[in-house]
Amino acid sequence: KYNIKNFAKDINDNIYIETNRRGRRIKKNKHLISLYNNTNIKTSNFIYPLFIHEEGNEKNETKLEGIHTYNYEGVVKEIEECLKLNIHHFMLFPVVNDQKKSIYCEECYNENSYFCQTLKKLKDKFAHDVVIYADVALDPYNVYGHDGIYDEKKREIINDISVHTLVKQSLCLAKCGVDVVCPSDSMDNRIEQIRKNLDFYGFRNILILSYTCKYASCMYAPFRSILSSNISHNFVKNKQSYQHDSNNYIDLNNVEKHIKEGCDIVMVKPSIFYLDIISKIRSKLDAGTNVPIAVYNVSGEYVMIKNYVKSLKKDLKYENEILTELFKSYLRAGANIIITYFAKQYGLYMLDLYEKRIKVDDNSS
């Protein structure tokens, strides 16, 4: 009916760039954008880390805004609030008093510790409504702050004796009702030894979430300050002799190795600087034995985002929009599971949007 020449003239104001490809066509409206959006964030993908202290109030402040440590009663309340947000996964870390720290870290397999008692009571109370994760590493219990046992004479972290202790710790955690043990210690061959011993002692259904790709990073500092696990020894000042090297991909060997040894979930940590690692693992897994990939937004990354928002004097809504962008980057890279201190905050945000019938994607500044 209309004259194509006139139409083009009217609409384009005489300016027309001849082209077959126009990327904006497929973004013409929000329904088209959601048509091919496969990175929907769900609270069921979250694991929420929580710190358990031995003495103090139900809930204590830490130096980190928005992060607390809890006793049993306090953590029960926090978990109950999260269950209403469809968050069912909780990763618990002990904050251990200095007097209980030692060279051989014996406290890590003490079933009567406050931490272990808390794990047992939580499992009794919530049973299958929660999935409980616990770290396997010696740093909360170690006078030196290292993840393995430190030999002062040799000035080294001794691998095999560390693994022996880590196995004991894993068995203790399994006995106390933990569903998933999470070796974050980075010692060689511990996945194999933990799996074999869990199986031998009848814990065949306990999962292993391996910190497969845990980089020696500056981003763990706030976490270490909460646990008072800063490395205190003069000679081995960092964790570079066991955590991964950010210079190259050599340590990616661990992915295949850990899966063979029986881990159920692999993890990349920290997150923002290591998205390339996630996507490399994703393509490797898609072509072979597949297990879910978790990514840990660590304490330093949490602080980075909080302080960015604060420095701009922006509000919580703005912060949550950043989180949407952040979490989508994880899903795009190929992660399935997101471990984050923001879990509850973001869950509350999603609930609020749901109640207002607003889609997360429609709520950006």
- Distance spanning both ends of the chain, measured CA to CA: 41
Which CB atom, from 119 or from 360, has the smaller least distance to ligand PBG?
119
- CB closer to ligand PBG, 93 vs 203: 93
Residue closer to ligand PBG by CB (options 277, 360) is 277
Angle between helices 159-175 and 190-200 (to 10 degrees): 40
Whole-number minimum distance, CB 224 to ligand PBG, in Å?
A: 6
Nearer to ligand PBG, 107 or 139 (CB): 139
The answer to whether residue 359 is catalytic is no
Catalytic pick from 30, 100, 120, 214? 214
Q: How far is the CB of 236 from ligand PBG (least distance, A)?
A: 13
Q: What is the nearest approach in angstroms of ligand PBG to the Cβ of residue 223?
A: 3
SS (H, E, C) 238-267: CCCCCCECCCCCHHHHHHHHHHHHCCCEEE
CB of 133 to ligand PBG, least distance (A): 11
Rounded alpha-carbon distances, angstroms, from residue 217 to 16, 214, 253, 333, 334: 51, 8, 19, 20, 22
Q: Which of 287, 129, 267, 120 is nearest to 208 (CA)?
A: 267
- Of 27, 100, 121, 269, the catalytic one is 269
Nearest approach, Cβ of 29 to ligand PBG (angstroms)? Answer: 40
In the complex, the residues that contact ligand PBG under the rule CB under 6 A are 135, 137, 139, 147, 184-185, 220, 223-224, 298-299
Q: Can you tell me which residue has the tokens 């104001």? A: 13
3-class DSSP string for 41-95: CCHHHEEEEEEEECCCCCEEECCCCCCEEECHHHHHHHHHHHHCCCCCEEEEEEE
Closer residue to ligand PBG (CB): 185 or 319: 185
269 in catalytic set: yes
Closest CA to 228 of 94, 59, 328: 94
What are the catalytic residues? 214, 269
